[in-house]
A and B are shown apart, each in its own frame.
Chain A
């Protein structure tokens, strides 16, 4: 396939650039929240995340020390101090009235109507000198435009994990996801083996019915199951949501696994039977190890699906502190902390980091699974 392009360097370049553009467009959104989640929360709201590595401009209204504290120097009363409480930043302009906050450059002497002379240095040191002894406890207001060095912090993560309840939700999501991934695999694998290699009446019909159940959308199941759960007293519990995810994942699981298990070589299974192995032993010792690739593909599907699910969790688990999963928490934060991007970006990143790691680590199996059965019901 390279032959067609290889001879045309211009076209090759065009391909490289086009792919680069696509990749950029597809990764930049995620990069945006990753970078933002590590930024200082004051910087997030004043400049775009793409300027995160450049110093950012900030307008500060500072109040100088109270005039009472001025000391006499050479016949004038002088007050000294620094605008920045934490000592960071560099002044690019300052002013003494709200109308003209950037009137003077650092080091300039600004004279007010009252005859005071004010100087602000680049590092934030200011000197105010009064002609007479000043009085009062309200300090002079100083308007400063400051350039601040980029600040990166893990504070946002500490906040979301420990005080916004995301840590708890993380554990809840894990508690939902792991059994909801393992249980359907296990019971589907047994069913798939029975459908592929065991003789019993009605096998073909049963298989067709199970494949047919792929068409049932999740929405159909919500109300009847909610009523059923309330009637039999399951309520909002982990066992309820595990079984719900198991049910919604089963048709695809059985379909995928049966296709794979049916393709295993007949001789292996036949010879094990001749040696007197029961089906239970054949399944455990031969089928399970051999179908590892198919099991892994489905496991990744189901894991991603359950971890990322919002609807099933909202319906079958409570919205209280003890049961809220991460997607639910994220959705709640979107509503209650809509503008607090430091909270939202850090939370979003915590919520997506596990599936992304799983994705990159096991991509091979995911792709294989997609190629063998690209149909997902639920």
Chain B
């Protein structure tokens, strides 16, 4: 940093009048210098430390983590330091310096976020849209071929059908159970413990949950002892054991149970807060009028939290549209359980056709956007 300081100070003060262009160039420069400084720092530290420290997997992992984070802190620190050095808050033209520094600093703060957002979200949307008009390895233009193929593809239709099923069942079931759980746990002394336990699956990964539920759906041939809970219950009542996740059509519902199990806690937490926010007077009035607890719940409470129910419902809907891990881990789309996100992944890694995969990704996005916009609007309205 000290090296680059002298010529820069000279160049900027030499420019004289404050033009926006100079400011923009200066801020880009400071940003780049800060970034460069932090990278140099991190790489140098890494080289030195990995030379000194013994070869150990754990140690190296810690080292890599520390450096990743330091490089990030280093950027903010060094770029700000640099800015203060170029436009010092002292000397003869202190107020001009302060003005310039204040004009540049927001961009130093925003810089990393804007770059990351641009590269990781804005660019991919545009690029995906373009790739969807190209062939398998994005080399040759195929026009709308991928879209035509999609319209005729049987697996795509199956995925759409399943996704729509998921869209109907999971948000409805999660919100329903969540509402029941919220309403009931608020009335009892050990409600908080109960809430914690119902909320807990939220912390479990989809793959972990898939293992947990696959164990429940485990199937052993008839006559042998069942070790899967579901088949054990079925045989205890005299039924025949089933290989649940291979039964076409119905197996979709067994996969949906997994996501419902995870999402109910989320619905419960938000709805519980909404239920507590209901003004006491409305309930007291209903009690005085002799309403039963059920009437109070359905006629007084639920209508008042309708907005929150809608937000919960749509939030889960968005998640459901992108459901991937559960299907991949439990059936990998076999036995008629394919969904869009997994189908896209299939074409990306097994089909190696980036054009088709991008087309499917676009379909997912088109389905998500309207729900998401509505959701954000509604959530903002709720808060105000």
Contact = CB atoms under 8 A, between A and B. Distances in A.
Interface stretch (B1-9, B11-19, B125-133, B141-149): B125-133
Given A219-B361, A280-B76, A355-B205, 6 more contacts: A4-B287, A18-B180, A46-B225, A171-B57, A304-B203, A375-B376
Interface stretch (A68-76, A79-87, A132-140, A175-183): A175-183
A1 interface: yes
A174 B61 contact: yes
A186 B72 CA distance: 8
Given A187-B116, A190-B76, A222 B361 contact: yes
B184 A22 contact: yes
B68 A352 contact: no
A279 interface: yes
A172 B357 CA distance: 28
A377 B322 CA distance: 10
Interface stretch (B150-158, B159-167, B248-256, B264-272): B264-272
B184 A187 contact: no
Contacts of A12: 187-188
Dominant SS among interface residues on chain B: helix
Contacts, number: 341
Contacts of B357: 222-223
Interface in B307-328: 311-312, 315, 318-319, 321-322, 324-325, 328
Contacts of B116: 187, 243, 246-247, 250
Interface of B: 57-58, 61, 64-65, 68-69, 72-73, 76, 80, 84, 89, 101-103, 105-107, 109-110, 112-114, 116-117, 119-125, 127-128, 131, 138, 177, 180-181, 184-188, 191, 194, 196-208, 210-216, 218, 225-229, 232, 261, 264-266, 269-270, 273, 283, 287, 293, 296, 311-312, 315, 318-319, 321-322, 324-325, 328-329, 341, 344-345, 348-349, 354, 357-358, 360-362, 364-365, 368-369, 372-373, 375-376, 379, 383
Contacts of A239: 68
Contacts of A45: 227
Given A30-B201, A187-B116, A220-B361, A213 B122 contact: yes
A191 interface: yes
B208 A308 contact: yes
B72 A198 contact: no
Nearest to A3: B287
B322 A331 contact: no
Nearest to A18: B184
Interface residues of A, number: 116
7 contacts: A49-B227, A186-B76, A190-B110, A213-B117, A244-B120, A363-B199, A371-B273
B125 A194 contact: no
A150 interface: no
A261 to B, nearest CB: 12
B269 A370 contact: yes
Contacts of B373: 215
A359 B262 CA distance: 14
A32 interface: yes
Which of B110, B265, B344, B345 is the most central at the interface, judged by chain A CB atoms within 10 Å of its CB? B110
Minimum-distance CB pairs A-B, first 10 = A247-B120, A308-B205, A359-B203, A224-B127, A191-B113, A179-B68, A194-B109, A221-B124, A348-B211, A224-B124
A292 interface: no
Contacts of A327: 205, 207-208, 325
Contact of B68 (A18, A219, A242): A242
A90 interface: no
A348 B202 contact: no
A324 to B, nearest CB: 12
A27 interface: yes
A142 interface: no
Residue of A29, A218, A327 most packed against chain B (CB within 10 A): A29
Given A29-B261, A171-B57, A182-B72, A330 B208 contact: yes
A374 B365 contact: no
Nearest to B370: A215
A216 B61 CA distance: 31
B323 to A, nearest CB: 11
B106 A200 contact: yes
A23 B198 contact: yes
B180 A22 contact: yes
B225 A48 contact: yes
A247 to B, nearest CB: 2
B124 A220 contact: yes
Contacts of B201: 26, 30
Nearest to A184: B116
A290 interface: no
A88 interface: no
Chain A CB count within 10 A is highest, among B124, B188, B225, for B124
A153 interface: no
B215 A1 contact: no
Contacts of B312: 374
Given A171-B57, A371-B270, A191 B211 contact: no
Given A194-B110, A356-B200, A345 B124 contact: no
Interface string A16-35: 10110011001111101100
Nearest to B127: A224
Given A308-B204, A310-B205, A374-B315, A367 B269 contact: yes
B354 A223 contact: yes
Contact of A179 (B69, B123, B204, B208): B69
A49 B225 CA distance: 11
B270 A15 contact: no
